[in-house]
Structure formats: C-alpha cells, structure tokens
Structure 1
Amino acid sequence: MEEPLESHVLILPFPAQGHIKPMLCLAKLLATSGLRVTFLNTHNNHRRVLPHNPCSPPSPLLRFESISDGLPDDHPRSLERIEELVLSIKMAMKAHLREFLLRECVQLPVTCVIADGIMSIGIDVAEELSVPAISFRTYSACCLWTYFCIPTFIHEGKLPFPDDDLDKEFHGLRGAEGLLRRRDLPSLCRSQIDSNLFRYFIDETIAMTQACALILNTFDALEAPMLSHLATIFSDVYSIGPLHALAIQSKGGHSSGRSESVSSLWIEDRSCMAWLDSQASRSVIYVSFGSLVKITVDQCMEFWHGLVNCGRPFLWVLREDAILGEKEDNVKLLLLELKVTSETQCLVDWAPQEEVLAHPAVGGFLTHSGWNSTLESIAAGIPMICWPRIADQQINSWCVSEVWKIGLDMKDTCDRSTIETLVRILTEDKKEEIMKSMARISALGSDSVGPEGSSSKNLERLIENIRKIGRTS
C-alpha cells in the first residue's frame, strides 16, 4: 500500500497587488498550520515583492517561486494594457505553469492547487495533472454572485444597457431587489459585451465552477445572502475573512506593529506614521485609491481643493504613476508641488495601510472601494467615502453606503464641493449614525476571526480538507 502524500499546496495569484496580498496572507496561515505551501508569483512581481519581505519566509514550510507571465521585462503591466496581460496569461503563462508543476511533482508532488478566481489556467493545468483545484476569488461574495448572473442579464436583454441612464433602477439581481441602480453594478457591465476583456472575465467566472471548492475573503455575517446563492453553485464555500485580521488572531491577537501580510509591490513611506502621531484623535482623513487606479490632473486638483476646504488634516497616498495624460516632467513637478508635508497635509507615494487605518488619529477613509481596503476599513472601524473606478469597486461602494450603512458613495462624481460636503457629512452631520453601523459591522468582523468565529472555523475546515486530499492522493 502506497504511503499518503505529504500535503503540498501551490497558490497561484493573479499578478496584481490586490490579489497577491490576500492570497499571500492565506499562504502564511496554511504554512503556520503545518501545510507545505509554494507561493507562485510572476517573475516581474517576485522581483518587486521580495525586497519588501523579510530575508527568510515567515515559516520554513512556505517558499516563494516564480514563472514568466510571457511579457517582456519592460512591459508596464498597467491597467491601460491589461488586455495584453490577460492574453499572455492564457497563452504563454499557462505553458510555463505546466512546466513548473511537472518539475515540482518530481521533487515534492503538489497535492492541491489554490488558483485565483481569474487564473483558470491553474484549474486547467491541475486537471491535466489530476491534482484537485480550489478557486479563491479575491472579490466580495456580492460581486462574484453578480458576475455569475451577467450571462442571465444578457439573455434577458438587461445588458448591454439600452440607454445611457445609469441612475435607472436595475432589477434581477437576487438579494438586491429594488436597491440597485445601473451605475452600482461592477464596471464590467458598462463594457462592450463583445470585447475580449468582457469575455475573459465571464469565461474565468464560469471556469471557477470546475474547482472542487471556493474560498472568499469575507465573513458570514457580512454577506450571508450572497454566500447562500454561491452555495448553490459550489459544494464547498469557505468564507475566511477578513484574512489580515485572521492573521493577527493566529498570532494570539497581537500585531507586530507592521502589516501582517507584507506583500507590497510599492515601497512604504513610514514617515506618515510620525505625522499621524502629531494629529488629534479621529481628526485625519486618509485618502488612497489603491495600487492600480489613475486620475487626471483635473481630478487630482478637485480632490486637493475639496480636502483643503473641508478644514481637516489629511494623509493622501498619491503614487508617482497615478496621474494620467501628462508628460513625466509635468507629473514630477505637480507631485513635488503637492507633496510638501505640513501640520495639516501629508502626501506619500505609498503607506502601510493597515497601520494607518488602525491609528487613533484617523477618522475617515476616502477610498476607491477595493475589497482589501473595504475589509481593512471595517476591521479598523473607520467609516468610508467611496470613489470607485473599476471591477468590483462599484458594487462594493453600494454595499458600503446602502446595505451596511458604514459610509457614503460618490461614484461617478469628482468635484471639490461634493468632496467637501461628504467629508463634513461623514465626520459631523451623520457621524453618530454611521459610526453606530460601523461599530456593529466591525464587531461582527472581529467575532468572525475569534477562536470560535465563523471564519476561524471555516479556515480549520479548509485545512482539514486539504489534508484529506493529501491522504487520498
């Protein structure tokens, strides 16, 4: 009788920071539990992440490897050229993944692949090699359920939208009847349905159903209705978020003072922490639009004036590559002009966001509504003003403002008057009402990652099932 294989999990994220971060957090949790884990980045991102991580992995059972994404080193891999990236993933990177797994199986066989929900190449190659695959979608349950409903919306003639009225109510998304407007749907719903990018994301969503289970970075009490819909598609659904908070709990509830899932493709400027130390309690508005979103010079100035006019100190993460449509020298000049730290203003290229949100000086978060940022804000109990741009961000901001009542939504608007008004509403007019909702939701999130919480129990169940896979391989 053959000996059962040692459990060895391969984790394959989509090559973008918002995907790498939660998947690396999961990798560390699995390795801490005693599972052997290989985290497989692209060469490009491996080079960018490695200098920001400790010299050695957090666990001897976790190692970092990389393969080519098929693009040349000088390719920008930017949002504007994402179609080139996803095409290369489907073609060139899939072949590199197959080669890697075949080599890996000679040394220490992989018993389970956890593939990003928009990296179906991981499911495909795992199936070829008779290795079980689990899909990890780094979006919210609400967004994923919406993606699964899009083919039905097209069949029913609801997509593409028959006119340009984005404020018109949208009916047909179970769990959200009478609440949604067209503009609240994921940005994919505004795309041409015959475009390559639209087809890619719909195909990737459908391909997820070939996996043996689904992992989501969310918690039961936050998205119960949407999780119940997804349970009709997947036989096993593991809601194990907020993952960064679960990582802290795994260390006995004590944070090291640094991000629990160091995975930044950007170098953090920690000078902002000293600046926050000098500010009054709950006085600061933290502003960040994530790692991919870009803004025009006009939008930049509207945000600047709106923030200045509201009269509150603000900390703004403004990446060097975040300004659209300007010559490099002009951008450098603008940033040099803006990035002058004063008593009331601090601008940095990148910040340690989890620590910033946990700082007692921070009282509000002006955000792009990326899912990681939304969960980090909930965990820290910081109310949000949402300015979504792409992908899941539109429906996340809708959940924040209309479902959970923990913030305000300013999607598709960018003027200094609105920004000033919403900051005042968040911090003054509706402060008590919004903070009451946030305290409730934040407490539910904290409970979920506690020793007897739903996310902790779901993680235990996931780990045990991965071990079972190893024993039966």
Structure 2
Amino acid sequence: MDSGLSDPLPPHVVFYPFPIQSHVNTTMSLAELLCLAGFRITFVISEHGHSRLAQYTDTLRRLSASYREEFVFKVVPDGLDPDAPRSDDNLWKIYDNYQKDAGSLFRELNGASPVTCIIADGLMTFSIDVAEELGIPLIVFRLIGPQCFWTYFNVPQMIETGDLPIKGEEDMEAFIRCSDLPSFCRVADPLDPFLQYIIAETLQTKRAQALVFNTFDQLDRTVLEHVRKHFPNVYTVGPLHKHLKLRLAQVSGAQSQVQFNSFWQVDRSCIAWLNKQPPRSVIYVSFGSLTRMTREQLMGFWHGLVNSGQRFLWVIRPDLVAGHEQGSEPIELRKATEERGYMVGWAPQEEVLEHSAVGAFLTHSGWNSTLESLVAGVPMLCWPYYADQQLNSRVVSEAWKAGLDMKDICDREVMQKMVNDLMVDRKEEFLSSTGKISKAAKDAVTEGGSSWESLDCLIEDIKAMRACSYRCLQ
C-alpha cells in the first residue's frame, strides 16, 4: 500500500437528519457545502421526503447533475402510511421507527463504503450508540439556536432548584420568563416523557466528537461562551442558506440561486404580486411547515391583518387549520383580501423575504425562519407554536430588538396594533436593528468571516478523521 497513503479516498460523510422539511432543508445545505469541499456524501432521507422533493422541486436533479455519485441519497421508510400527515402528532412514531432501524442502516452504509463520520440530527442521538459500536466518529448538528440548546442543557438544574415544573402563573425574575421557556418545559410533571426525552438528547450530545450550530458568533456570542465550556468542539457555520450561496458563487463565479427544498408545491405567483407593491409595504405571513391552528385563531389573524390596513402576503398550507374548508371565509374578508392581500399554499420564503416590497414577517419563530428574516433585514412579529419557538420569539424582541413578541395571544386588536407598530409607528427603529444584524450575518459567511472560517475548520477536522481512519487500515 504505497500511493494510497499519499492519496487516500475522500472523506465519506453520512448525514442523518430528522425527516421533517425544516431539518432536511438546512441539513442538506451543510451536506452540499461539504460536497463542495470534495467530500462524498450519503444523505439519509425518508421515502416521504424524497418523493416530495422529486414532486415539487428540482433538488434531486440539480444535485445529481452537479455532483453525480459524490452526493447520493439513501431512501428509508419513516414508519407511516404514505398518506398519513407528517405533523407533530406523528413525530414520535417516526422517531421510534428511525431508532429501531439505525443499527442495520449504519452497518449497511459502512459496509458498502467505509464511513469517515456521521453528522446526526440533535434529535436522534441514539445513533451515537451505533457509531461507537462501529468505531465511526459522530458529530451532532443541532437545528435549534444555542439559546434553546443551553436552556435544554440546564433543565435538570432547573428541576433540582424547583424552577420546573412551572407552578401556576408566576414568572421568574429574569430575562427569560416562564412563558418564554420552550414548550416542552410547560408540563406539570418533571417526569413527562417528552421533557425527559429532550433532557436525554441534550446530555447525550456530550458523547459526540463535536457540535454544529446554524448560527454565527456575533449573534450568539454570550451563550456560545457558556456552551463551549461544556462542549469544546463547537462549530458555528450559519446562516447556512446564505453561506451555501456564497460558496457556490465562489466556485461558479456567479451569484447562485439555490432552490428551497420544499415538501410543498411552491406558488411563485406571489412574486409577481409583490413586484407590483411599494417598497416595505407588505407583511409576509407564514407559520412554517408544522404549525396547526384553530379556525378561531385563523380568523383572529385575518381580522387583525385586514383591520391594520396594511398589505399582506399570507401562506395558508392545506393542513394549517384542522377541518378548514377552502372558500369558507366570510365574504367581507375575501373582499378585503382581494383589495390588499394575496394568499398562496406555499411560498419561496427566502426569495419573498429578500423582496424589496416586504417590510415585516409574521412568523411562528422557527429557527430557520428567524435566521432567514434576520439575513434579509426584515423585522418580525412572533407568534410561536411549540418547541424552541417560545424562546426564539423572546430573544427576537428583547435581545436583538428585531421585532415584537405576540406569544400566546391571538387577539385581533393586539394583532392590528403590533402590525402597525412594525410597519408604521416604529418601522425605522426595527429596520435599523435588523439591518445591523443582516450585515453581521453576511459578514460572517463571507470569506474570512467567523462562519466561513468555522466551516473550514470543520472540513479540516473531518479530513483528519479520514486520515486517521485510513492509517488504521494499513
């Protein structure tokens, strides 16, 4: 074995995301960045996700044309019937099926082509056991922000000190109030299965070789200092959607247009509608891919938007409202929508947020949506649904001064006032704050920026894993 030592095979990285749209989309951006660095990628994806990408996007064709056999998909079942909703009600079933099949999956992949490392979703750290058994390094990729991760990490201490479970309506005298804690912490029993699951997944991360966040140092510097005391190998490589565009542009010499990897049919007619609107005059409304609401909540939002007098672009997924029938809205609201609003089933969100007509974003405060809005310099009106979103909305409003928090409220009058605060009364104040964060985010993913350099470090560290593994085979 002579020439092989000086020219080993490229690193082979297996990506193992939780199979919901937001996690797959962001993880795929990181996977493509490593593929650009010369790595071989195997991307584990559910049959449902794979079929959705094939049906609604050109992602599979584009990746195949760009990277051929260097970026391949491993399609696996998620345990649900094809027509079953991939909503939060069924996430446990998907998790259980993935956990059951992880051992055979990684043995198969490692047998076909030795795996340099696994980059696993932070929700599926059960894969650490299999990785250790096979002697494969594993890196955890958390799809939440560092603030939420740090909160989860401290939940055992909060239980020990009596801050959890929350008792009655009291609030802690601190920046983070009880109402701002992630939704999983809003339980009466500290032994609640989901709370215990979150604790276990977070603490398991300490067994991984490294931890990756989709953020940038300037945004989360203080909390990252705390995290790094317990997790020395932390890489901050975001905002990934912008980072990928810049790296692709460096390779191609032209600005790259990366298509959103949507599990829903994108309606691009909204771009033509936005083109006809004045600058910063539209509030974009989208509650992500999992949020569910009642019809009463929907109508509360609707009345608030219409009564505000502002233009709006609203994404209403087919499954957003349980039992909702299209076309059943009151006639007066449909008329008001035609006058000042536009509605689609799904929108190209990155493109919408970067459009000059968009002046604010009514959002569920998912981490991806939050970052996309910050990069675009668009202030947010936050209505969090679950998981990390309650905390994200608090940080947006109080730490970054990038918007308003409408947590746990769906009142048309409050909605109307907050929309006008963002779009009229305090417009310049919020645009100033988001503009500064937008510049910092773009600087971070520009060559020489903190996220650019962190990704370079991650690339070199994975190469070192490959070199070490290769020497062990000699």
Matched, 1:141 2:146: yes
Q: How many Å apart are 1:196 and its aligned residue?
A: 2.1
Q: How many residues align?
A: 454
Q: 2:20 is matched with which residue?
A: 16
Counterpart residue identity of residue 95, structure 2? V
Contact 1:40-1:67 at 8 Å conserved across structures: yes
Structure number having the greater helix percentage: 2
* Corresponding residue to 1:248 among 239, 245, 249: 245
* Corresponding residue to 1:225 among 219, 222, 225: 222
Unaligned runs of 5+ in 1: 171-177
* Corresponding residue to 2:231 among 226, 230, 234: 234
Counterpart residue identity of residue 107, structure 2? L
Structure 2: distance between partners of 1:182 and 1:466? 40
Contact 1:69-1:89 at 8 Å conserved across structures: yes
Secondary structure of 2:22 counterpart: helix
Q: In the TM superposition, what whole-angstrom CA distance separates every residue of 1:343-383 from its partner, at most 9, and x where no partner exists?
A: 52111110000000000000000000000000000100000
Contact 2:248-2:256 at 8 Å conserved across structures: no
What TM-score do the two structures reach when normalised by structure 2? 0.92
Structure 1: distance between partners of 2:207 and 2:389? 26
Q: How many Å apart are 1:124 and its aligned residue?
A: 2.1
Q: How many Å apart are 1:205 and its aligned residue?
A: 1.1
| 1:9-408 to 2 correspondences below 5 Å | 9-51=13-55, 52-54=57-59, 55-57=61-63, 58-60=66-68, 61-90=70-99, 92=100, 95=101, 97-165=102-170, 168-170=171-173, 178-191=174-187, 192-252=189-249, 255-257=255-257, 260=258, 262-324=260-322, 326=323, 330-334=324-328, 342-408=338-404
Structure 2: distance between partners of 1:53 and 1:243? 19
Contact 1:39-1:65 at 8 Å conserved across structures: yes
Q: 1:175 is matched with which residue?
A: none
Contact 2:249-2:256 at 8 Å conserved across structures: no
Structure 1: distance between partners of 2:255 and 2:380? 23
Secondary structure of 2:72 counterpart: strand
Secondary structure of 2:419 counterpart: helix
Identity over aligned pairs, percent: 44
Q: In the TM superposition, what whole-angstrom CA distance separates every residue of 1:280-337 from its partner, at most 9, and x where no partner exists?
A: 111000000000001111111111111011111100000010003x2xxx52343797
Secondary structure of 1:179 counterpart: coil
1:372/1:255 CA distance change after superposition, 3 Å: farther
Structure 1: distance between partners of 2:329 and 2:93? 29
Structure 2: distance between partners of 1:50 and 1:209? 36
Range with greater deviation from structure 2 (146-155 or 425-434): 425-434
Structure 1: distance between partners of 2:255 and 2:149? 31
Counterpart residue identity of residue 432, structure 1? E
Q: In the TM superposition, what whole-angstrom CA distance separates every residue of 1:48-89 from its partner, at most 9, and x where no partner exists?
A: 123323424142321112112233434323212333333333
Counterpart residue identity of residue 139, structure 1? I
Q: 1:415 is matched with which residue?
A: 411
Structure 1: distance between partners of 2:289 and 2:154? 28
Q: 1:173 is matched with which residue?
A: none
Contact 1:5-1:111 at 8 Å conserved across structures: no
Contact 1:339-1:347 at 8 Å conserved across structures: no
Structure 1: distance between partners of 2:162 and 2:249? 52
Range with greater deviation from structure 2 (179-188 or 245-254): 245-254
Q: How many Å apart are 1:261 and its aligned residue?
A: 5.2
Counterpart residue identity of residue 207, structure 1? Q
Structure 2: distance between partners of 1:59 and 1:5? 16
Counterpart residue identity of residue 19, structure 2? P
Counterpart residue identity of residue 37, structure 1? I
What TM-score do the two structures reach when normalised by structure 1? 0.92
Contact 1:113-1:123 at 8 Å conserved across structures: no
Matched, 1:462 2:458: yes
Range with greater deviation from structure 2 (334-343 or 198-207): 334-343
Secondary structure of 1:231 counterpart: helix
Secondary structure of 1:334 counterpart: coil
Q: How many Å apart are 1:43 and its aligned residue?
A: 1.8
Secondary structure of 2:390 counterpart: helix
Q: How many Å apart are 1:185 and its aligned residue?
A: 1.0
1:211/1:261 CA distance change after superposition, 3 Å: farther
CA RMSD of aligned residues (A): 1.9
Unaligned runs of 5+ in 2: 470-474
Structure 1: distance between partners of 2:155 and 2:215? 22
Range with greater deviation from structure 2 (218-227 or 243-252): 243-252
Secondary structure of 1:105 counterpart: helix
